[in-house]
C-alpha cells in the first residue's frame, strides 16, 4: 500500500509538472514541422538539433529554439559601384540563403536573425563590389554577366560558411547608370563607336587599295601576255606569207611579178590618181606591154 501511494504521488507530481509546463509554454513534447529545425539547449549548452517529427525535452531544464530550414530571401538597397574602366553603376541584388548549421548560427548570432541578415548584406555587398571592380562595363552588362554572378555567389558562400549560413545564389536585380553619369557615358560610347568606325573604314580602304593594285597588276600582265602572243602570231603569219610568196616566186617568177604589179596598180591607181613618172619606168612595164598589144 505504501509503495502504491508513493507511486501515485510521484505520478501525480509528474503530471502536475507536465501540466504546469504546458501552461507555461514549455511542453515536454517538441514537434518539429517540415521546413523547420529546433535547437535543444540545456543550461545554455546545445544538446541536439531536431529533425522534422516528434522529439522530447525536459521541462524547465531544456530550452527549444526554432530555426527556419527553408531557403530565405534577402534583398539589398541599390548602391553605386565603380567598374574596372571607371564607369559608375547603380546595382541592387538579392541573396538566396538558409541556416545550414544551427549550432554555428547560434554562436555567431545568438537569437538575432536581423544581425544575420546584416552580416549577409555586408558580405555580399563587399563581394559584389570586389568582383564588379575587376570587370569592365561591357562585361558586367553583357559579355561575362553569368560568370560574374557565379564568382560573387562562390565568394559570398565561402565567406559565410563559418557562420552556419549556406548561400545558394546571388543575383543582380537591375544595373543602371547614375543620372549624373549617363551623359558622359553616352558621349564616351559615341566616341568609341566613331573610333571603331574610322578604324574599320581605314582598314577597308587599305584592303580596297590592295585589291585595286592587284587587279591593275594582273591586267597589265594579261595585256602584256596578249601583246606578246599577238606579236608571235603576227610574226608567224608574216613568216608563213613570206614562205608562200617565196614558193610562188620560185614556181613562176614572171607570173609572180605580174600579179604583184597588178596588186600594186590596184592599190595605187584609181580614177582620181595623177602620177608623173617617166614612161620608161619599171612601174609601167606591164602597162606598156598591154598598150603595145592593143596598138598592134
Helix (H) or strand (E) holding 73: strand 72-75
d(CA 128, CA 153): 9
Q: Which residue has the cell 549548452?
A: 45
93 close to 124: Cβ distance less than 8 angstroms = yes
Residue 275 CB partners (closer than 8 Å, separation 6+): 268, 269
Of these ranges, 44-53, 77-86, 284-293, the one predicted with the greatest mean pLDDT is: 77-86
pLDDT tens digits, 1-41: 777 777 777 766 555 555 444 444 445 666 677 777 776 77
Pick the more confident residue, 285 or 222: 222
d(CA 133, CA 127): 10
d(CA 135, CA 158): 21
> Vertex 219, ends 213 and 220: CA angle to 5°?
90
What is the model's pLDDT at position 294?
A: 44
Pick the more confident residue, 221 or 288: 221
Has residue 291 got a pLDDT over 60?
no
3-state secondary structure of 88: strand
Among 85, 25, 108, residue whose Cα is nearest residue 59: 25
Pick the more confident residue, 213 or 61: 213
What is the model's pLDDT at position 184?
A: 67
What is the model's pLDDT at position 106?
A: 81
Average pLDDT over residues 251-273: 74
Q: In residues, how long is the chain?
A: 296
pLDDT tens digits, 180-225: 666 666 777 788 889 899 999 999 999 999 999 999 999 999 999 9
Question: CA of 166: how far to CAs of 52, 72, 96, 135, 161, in Å?
Answer: 20, 10, 9, 26, 6
Q: Dihedral sign, CA of 51, 57, 61, 66?
A: positive
pLDDT tens digits, 92-146: 888 999 888 888 888 888 867 888 888 999 999 999 989 988 888 788 877 788 8
Give all domains of the chain, ordered by start, each with its CATH number. Answer: 14-68 (no CATH), 72-177 (3.30.479.30), 258-295 (no CATH)
Assign 155 a pLDDT band (cuts: 50, 70, 90). Answer: very high
As given in the structure block, the three cell numbers for residue 179 are 543620372
What is the model's pLDDT at position 288?
A: 58
Q: Dihedral sign, CA of 172, 174, 175, 180?
A: negative
Has residue 292 got a pLDDT over 60?
no
What is the model's pLDDT at position 230?
A: 93
d(CA 189, CA 183): 10
Assign 228 a pLDDT band (cuts: 50, 70, 90). Answer: very high
88 close to 179: Cβ distance less than 8 angstroms = no
As given in the structure block, the three cell numbers for residue 259 are 600579179
> Which neighbouring-strand residues pair with 96?
73, 169
3-state secondary structure of 239: helix
pLDDT tens digits, 159-168: 999 998 999 9
**Is the pTM for the entire model greater than 0.85?**
no
As given in the structure block, the three cell numbers for residue 87 are 564607369
As given in the structure block, the three cell numbers for residue 97 are 540563403
Among 114, 95, 97, 116, residue whose Cα is nearest residue 105: 116
Assign 60 a pLDDT band (cuts: 50, 70, 90). Answer: low
Amino acid at each position: 500500500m505504501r509503495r502504491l501511494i508513493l507511486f501515485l504521488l510521484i505520478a501525480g507530481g509528474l503530471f502536475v509538472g507536465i501540466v504546469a509546463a504546458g501552461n507555461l509554454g514549455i511542453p515536454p513534447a517538441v514537434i518539429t514541422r517540415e521546413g523547420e529545425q529546433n535547437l535543444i539547449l540545456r543550461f545554455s549548452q546545445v544538446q541536439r538539433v531536431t529533425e522534422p517529427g516528434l522529439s522530447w525535452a525536459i521541462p524547465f531544464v531544456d530550452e527549444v529554439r526554432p530555426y527556419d530550414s527553408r531557403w530565405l530571401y534577402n534583398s539589398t538597397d541599390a548602391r553605386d559601384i565603380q567598374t574596372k574602366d571607371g564607369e559608375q553603376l547603380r546595382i541592387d541584388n538579392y541573396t538566396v540563403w538558409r541556416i545550414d548549421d544551427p549550432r554555428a548560427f547560434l554562436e555567431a548570432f545568438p537569437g538575432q536573425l536581423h544581425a544575420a541578415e546584416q552580416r549577409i548584406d555586408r558580405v555580399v555587398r563587399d563581394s559584389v563590389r570586389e568582383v564588379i571592380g575587376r570587370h569592365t562595363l561591357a562585361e558586367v552588362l553583357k559579355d561575362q554577366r553569368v560568370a560574374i554572378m557565379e564568382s560573387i555567389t562562390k565568394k559570398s558562400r565561402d565567406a559565410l560558411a563559418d557562420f552556419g549560413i549556406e548561400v545558394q545564389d546571388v543575383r543582380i536585380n537591375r544595373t543602371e547608370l547614375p543620372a549624373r553619369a549617363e551623359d558622359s557615358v553616352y558621349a564616351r560610347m559615341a566616341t568609341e563607336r566613331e573610333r571603331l568606325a574610322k578604324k574599320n573604314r581605314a582598314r577597308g580602304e587599305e584592303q580596297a587599295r590592295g585589291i585595286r593594285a592587284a587587279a591593275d597588276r594582273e591586267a597589265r600582265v594579261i595585256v602584256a601576255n596578249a601583246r606578246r602572243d599577238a606579236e608571235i602570231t603576227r610574226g608567224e603569219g608574216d613568216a608563213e606569207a613570206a614562205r608562200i610568196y617565196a614558193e610562188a616566186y620560185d614556181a613562176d617568177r614572171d607570173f609572180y611579178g605580174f600579179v604583184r604589179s597588178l596588186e600594186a596598180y590596184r592599190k595605187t591607181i584609181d580614177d582620181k590618181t595623177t602620177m608623173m613618172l617617166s614612161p620608161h619606168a619599171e612601174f609601167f612595164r606591164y602597162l606598156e606591154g598591154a598598150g603595145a598589144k592593143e596598138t598592134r
